[in-house]
Amino acid sequence: MKISKSIIRVLFLVFDIVNVSGSGTENVCVNNETGKLVFGMDCTSSTQCITEYCYNTKCVCPTGKSYDACNARCTTENEYTISFEDMPPGSLYNWTFTAPMYTYVTLVLCYIDLNPSNCLNNYVYVTENINNVISSEYICLKNTSSALYFASRKNVISINYKLTDSGYRGFRGSYSVRGNNTVLTDTSGYIMNPGYPYGYLENCYYTWNISAKSGHLVSLSLLYLDLETNWDKLTVYDGPNTFSSPIYVYSGYINGTKKDLTSTSNNMFIVFTSDSSNSGRGFLALFVTQGQAYGHVCNSTHKCSDDLECLGGICSCNVSFYYDITTGHCTKALLHGAMCEPSINNMCATGFTCLTDRMNTTRCLCSSDQYEKLGTCYWGNLNCSLISRLCISVMPNLIRPAGHFYFRHSCRGPHEQKEGLQKRY
């Protein structure tokens, strides 16, 4: 079986952790919605980077982590990206991931573009081995970014991919290795039981310790649950172990209606147990770690989220930034002439105000008794004495508040005309 150079590179990265066999190519995929600089971009500080680490003026991952391009984040070194988009049409491809004994492999397909009208010849499905299919049917979804999650019961998982239709791009995703007792330090991620969604084994005992930075909290969102009622359980603790106070005990069936939980400290401990009979499909949950939100009280114990600062005891954006309610992040304040929303505080850069212009559009402008030049507001009427005696340059037409307009005039000294602008009411 031929192994491409890109697969050889992955093999080298994970030599001590997981063996990978197969053929295909690897592409880069990025999904960044945070507004921060992505991996490899130029930076001046770590807070600018989605990787949370700026080294030698580049956004990179800290030591001990690698970049997961599909989810645009740094992950522990046992998590890697797979991508088989735009491969040449061929026959059946197969990739097998083998982890150490007593671990299991999780797989997330974060993008799929296959031909649903020709599913027998253009599909992907997931197995633990040749005869044990984890995905119960061929997957042939068209152009979807709705993630699909899978986990092996033991230490092997395989992806089978048939490509005969060149009009569709294929799929991409990421895989990771988990143990019976897993510590998670990423700022976001997922948790699922071995065998999900095909079904878990009997007599299971698995734990996950989600550990956030000091002063941050952990939020857990349960997306799916199918456990034997009252006998198989998922228990969430508010702290680092089972001695902590339990937040909630799940059992039975939940689908569609999310149940969100938040810790009161920087740790959340999760335990999954099953008895000796009647297993279900399992569970899937997403987690995120975060500090205090914008506008919340902050102190030495309760820290702000990463892109906020504790100013006057309140989590706020830094100077020259405003809080964008649509993205939930701090964004660079707007300069003169940019369209703005009056209800959003500090949306305009220092010195500018969100005002309505004569076209009834709200923009970042100087106040009615000011004029703007080269991105700065000046007090008073714009005339030669305010600028200089040698004012000879022609100012561009200004965007000005409603009810005021400017006209050109010239002046060249006390008794000479000279190019400039005046404001007329």
- Tell me the pLDDT tens digit for each residue of 65-85: 666 655 566 766 555 566 666
Domain 66-177 adopts which CATH fold?
Jelly Rolls (2.60.120)
Please, where in the chain does CATH 2.60.120.290 lie? 66-177, 180-291
Query: CATH number of the domain at 180-291, out of 2.40.50.140, 2.60.120.290, 3.40.50.620, 3.90.340.10?
Result: 2.60.120.290
Residues 152, 282: Cα–Cα separation, whole Å: 12
The three-point CA angle 244-256-126 to 5° equals 90
Residues 206, 340: Cα–Cα separation, whole Å: 50
**Cα-trace Rg, the chain:** 29
- Summarised one tens digit per residue, pLDDT across range 199-250 is 898 899 999 999 988 888 899 999 999 999 999 999 999 999 999 999 999 9
The three-point CA angle 372-373-377 to 5° equals 40
pLDDT score of 131: 54
- Comparing 269-273, 301-305, 344-348, 411-415, which segment has the lowest mean pLDDT? 411-415
- Summarised one tens digit per residue, pLDDT across range 245-268 is 999 999 999 886 667 898 988 999
Are 352 and 364 contacting, i.e. CB atoms less than 8 angstroms apart?
yes
Of residues 400 and 188, the one with the higher pLDDT is 188
Count CB neighbours of 383 within 10 A: 16
Percent residues over pLDDT 90 in the chain: 20
Are 359 and 403 contacting, i.e. CB atoms less than 8 angstroms apart?
no
Are 324 and 331 contacting, i.e. CB atoms less than 8 angstroms apart?
yes
Per the prediction, the chain carries an average pLDDT of 75
Are 157 and 126 contacting, i.e. CB atoms less than 8 angstroms apart?
yes
Residues 202, 331: Cα–Cα separation, whole Å: 50
3-class DSSP state for residue 316?
strand
385 pLDDT more than 70: no
